[in-house]
Amino acid sequence: MASQQPSLAILVRAPDGFTVWPGPPYPPGSSPPQRLPKTACSATSFSSDGSRLLATVASASATVYDCSSLSVIRSFDLPGLTAAALSPTGSYLQTFQKSSSPQVKNVTVWHVDTATALYQHYQKNLSKANWPMVQFSADESVACRMATNEMQFFDTNDFTKGIVYKVRLPGIAALQLASAPGSHVAGFVPEAKGVPASVQIFSCDKDAQNQVVARRSFFRCSTVQFHWNKGSTGLLIVSQADVDKTNQSYYGETKLHYLTTDRAFEGIVPLKKEGPVHDVQWSSSGSEFAVVYGYMPAKATIFNKKCNPLHELGEGPYNTIRWNPKGRFIVIAGFGNLPGDMAFWDYSEKKLIQKAKAEWSVISEWSPDGRHFMTATTAPRLQIDNRIKIFDHTGSLQFIKEFEKLYQVDWKPESPERFGDIAELTISLNGIKIEETKKQGQGSKSAQTSSKAPVNVAAKPAGAYRPPQSKHTAALQDKLFGGLAPTGGEMSKTALRNKKRREKQKEKKAGEGSSADDS
C-alpha cells in the first residue's frame, strides 16, 4: 500500500521563474532537486485535484502542464491576459482579457485538451470577489456564474448551449457554489435602504431551484466570506462590516453565522469571547469546524455540526487555524502582524503536542498526507527574510531554506484518502523539549542517530543569563501572549544599552561614596 501512495511535490515561484520540488524529507545541508527547469511566468496555480498546473505570463500567454510528467499539454496565446484559472480537474481554462468595448467578449471558457473556446461573455470589471467568474463543483458536474440580479447555470457537458437555467435573486453581490458535492449554491445580498443583508441557499437541482432551502438576514454587513463543508450540508458565513459601531475595533466588525441545508440550525455561532473572527476552517470530514476569535489573546474553539462546542484549544496570539487533511492534527498560529507562535494539537487525543515559531509567515499549509506543515515568508508582503520552513506533524522543524525573494510556494494537491494514516505515536511535550536540547548541544551518538530528519539550519545559541528582576517581565509577557511569549534569552539592543547605563551609574555612585569616606 505504501508504494501506491502518490509522491509529494512543492511549487516554488521566484523572480527568475517557477519550478517544482519533490516533497520532503530532504538530505541535510542540501537544496531540494528541481523536477522542472525554472520557467519564467507571472502567476502559477494547480487544479484542485493536482492533476494539472497553470502558468501565465501577464498580457501574453497561459500554459497548462501535466503534473505527473510536467510536460506541456497546451499553450494559449492571449494578448491582454489579466487573469486565468483552471477548473477543479483541469478540463477547462477560464481567462479574462482586457477589452476595449462591450462588443468584445473578454471572459472565455476553454476546453484545455482541444483549445476550443466553449463559452464567452463580456465583463467590465475584475475583482478578487468575482474571480473565477464561472464556478465549478469538484467533479465539474455543475457550473454557474453570478449575473445582475440572478445566478446562471450551464450544462457542463455542452457549454455551447450557453445559460440553460437561472435563479432570480435581486441585488446579488456574491455567490458561492458548494464543491463536494455541487448540490447547493449560496447567494449574498447586501443591506440597502433599511432592508437587512441576507444569505440565501438554493438547490442546484433544476426542478427545485426557485425554492429557498435556508436563509439568514442580518444588519451591519457589507461583505461576506463563505465556507461550505464537505458534504455540502453546512455553510459558515463570516459577515464583515466596514465600521464597528461600538468603536472597539479600527478594522470594523465581524460575525460568524451558520446555516444548514436541512434547516436544523439558522443563526449566529455562540462564541464565548467578544471581538473579531480571525479564521475558521472545517475538518476534512465536514462534521466539525474550528474558529479563532476574540480580542487578543484570541480564543480557539471546535464546534460540531449542531454548533455545540466540543473542545477548547486555549488562548494566545492567534489569528490562523489549519486542520490537517487527515483530520487528526491542528495548528493554531499567529501570523502577519503577530509574533509567529504556533501550537500543534493532536485532536484525537485532545492534547497539546508542542509549541513552535515561524516569524513573519505569510503562507501556511499542511501537506496532503498530513505529515508536514509548511510556512513561508513571501514578497510583496515582506521584501526581506523570505524563506520556507517545513515542520513535521509534531511541530519539530525539519527544513528551512532562505531566498533573496520568494513570491509563492504551494503543495501539489492530492486526495488525502490516497495516503495512509500516521502510525507513529506523538510524543509528549516534555519528551520533545529534552530531545531538542540534546540536538542543540553536543549530544550523544545515540541521540543524534535517533533523529529521523535533521534540520538544515544551524543550531540556536544557548540563552543568555536572565537576572532575577526579569521574572516579573516574563510573567507579564506570558499573561499578555497566552503562554506563548518569546523564549529567546538574548536581550534587545535597547535593554542592553539601558543595562550598561545603570551599571555605569552604580559605578559612579560607588566611586563618589569611596571618595567621601577617604575625605
Query: pLDDT tens digits, residue range 271-281?
Result: 999 889 999 99
- Asked whether residue 337 falls in the same domain as residue 353, the answer is yes
The grid coordinates of residue 425 equal: 505515536
- Asked whether residue 236 falls in the same domain as residue 365, the answer is no
Q: Where does a domain end: 268, 296, 312?
A: 268
- Asked whether residue 194 falls in the same domain as residue 210, the answer is yes
| CA gap 20, 37 in Å, rounded | 8
- Asked whether residue 330 falls in the same domain as residue 411, the answer is yes
- Asked whether residue 256 falls in the same domain as residue 320, the answer is no
In a domain, residue 143? The reply is: yes
CATH number of the CATH domain containing 370: 2.130.10.10
pTM listed for this prediction: 0.78
In a domain, residue 258? The reply is: yes
In a domain, residue 279? The reply is: yes
Q: What single DSSP character describes residue 90? A: S
Name residues whose C-beta falls within 8 Å of residue 194's C-beta, 6 or more positions apart in sequence.
Answer: none
Query: pLDDT tens digits, residue range 180-238?
Result: 898 899 999 998 888 889 999 999 887 776 788 999 998 888 889 999 999 999 999 99
Query: How many CB atoms lie under 10 A from the CB of residue 351?
Result: 11
pLDDT at 439: 38
In a domain, residue 386? The reply is: yes
- Asked whether residue 371 falls in the same domain as residue 296, the answer is yes
Confidence bin at 361 (pLDDT 50/70/90): very high
Specify the number of domains making up the chain.
2
- Asked whether residue 309 falls in the same domain as residue 264, the answer is no
Q: Where does a domain end: 233, 268, 303?
A: 268
Query: pLDDT tens digits, residue range 447-505?
Result: 333 334 445 553 333 444 444 444 444 443 333 333 333 434 445 567 677 777 777 87
* Full domain range(s) for residue 299: 274-419
Mean pLDDT estimate for the chain: 82
Query: How many CB atoms lie under 10 A from the CB of residue 500?
Result: 10
- Asked whether residue 406 falls in the same domain as residue 329, the answer is yes
pLDDT at 401 over 80: yes
- Asked whether residue 259 falls in the same domain as residue 284, the answer is no
- Asked whether residue 166 falls in the same domain as residue 282, the answer is no
Beta-strand pair 52-57/277-282: unpaired
- Asked whether residue 215 falls in the same domain as residue 138, the answer is yes
| CA gap 21, 16 in Å, rounded | 15
In a domain, residue 128? The reply is: no
In a domain, residue 230? The reply is: yes
Residue 353 in contact with residue 429, Cβ under 8 Å?
A: yes
pLDDT at 247: 59
In a domain, residue 188? The reply is: yes
- Asked whether residue 285 falls in the same domain as residue 384, the answer is yes
Q: Where does a domain end: 248, 268, 288?
A: 268
In a domain, residue 18? The reply is: no
Distances 15 to 42, 65, 405 between C-alpha atoms, Å: 9, 20, 7
